[in-house]
Amino acid sequence: MPKKTLCIREESEEIERKILHPKATLSCNTKGRERPEEEGEIRTAFQRDRDRIIHSKSFRRLKHKTQVFLAPTGDHYRTRLTHTLEVSQIARTIAKSLRLNEELTEAISLGHDLGHTPFGHAGEAVLDEIYPGGFNHYEQSLRVVDFIEKDGHGLNLTKEVRDGILKHSKGKGHLFSKGEKNRAETL
């Protein structure tokens, strides 16, 4: 009986099963998407999410948002895009060293600030004061990927990436004080 030939995605998923930590989230075990899609032959579910984020309008807009509000005198200032790329690289390094899913980690880190306001956290503070119920950039990031992108259709990301974007905060304020249910479901 001839051995079944695996597509590239299946080979990648097999490598994940072999090298990732037993508690790592495997691409093949994703909880799926809001709107089910057929799996591709080349990229895993989390690789597709990462690519959707990178090619989104909101990701490209990060280059025009400053990390903090400032009036730079030179031409080297931090934008949300440079911050996001640095976060992504650090996150991938940590994920790799812990044998966690790098593509899942990268997708979450690339999407974590898509809902950030202009003028850094100062802009978020102003919106928090005037928006009924308050404003949190992580909630807005989820709205961006779920509803705003692609003319209201959203990016249709996996549940794991969406959960990571929503719960990426390092615990400033209320997120972790409300308990376990507010922590990301994946490592």
Q: Are 153 and 101 in contact (CB under 8 A)?
A: no
Domain contains 58 = yes
Q: Are 104 and 47 in contact (CB under 8 A)?
A: no
The CATH code of the domain that includes 147 is 1.10.3210.10
Encoded tokens for 184: 């990301």
Domain contains 3 = no
Q: How many domains are contained in the chain?
A: 1
Percent of the chain, pLDDT > 90?
Answer: 68
Domain contains 106 = yes
Q: Are 53 and 155 in contact (CB under 8 A)?
A: yes
Instruction: Summarize pLDDT for 19-67 with one digit per residue, the tens.
Output: 999 999 999 999 999 999 999 999 999 999 999 999 999 999 999 887 6
Domain contains 187 = no
Domain contains 2 = no
Q: Are 105 and 52 in contact (CB under 8 A)?
A: no
Which structural domain range is residue 13 located in?
8-182
| pTM of the predicted structure, to 2 decimals | 0.89
Domain contains 1 = no
Q: Are 141 and 112 in contact (CB under 8 A)?
A: yes
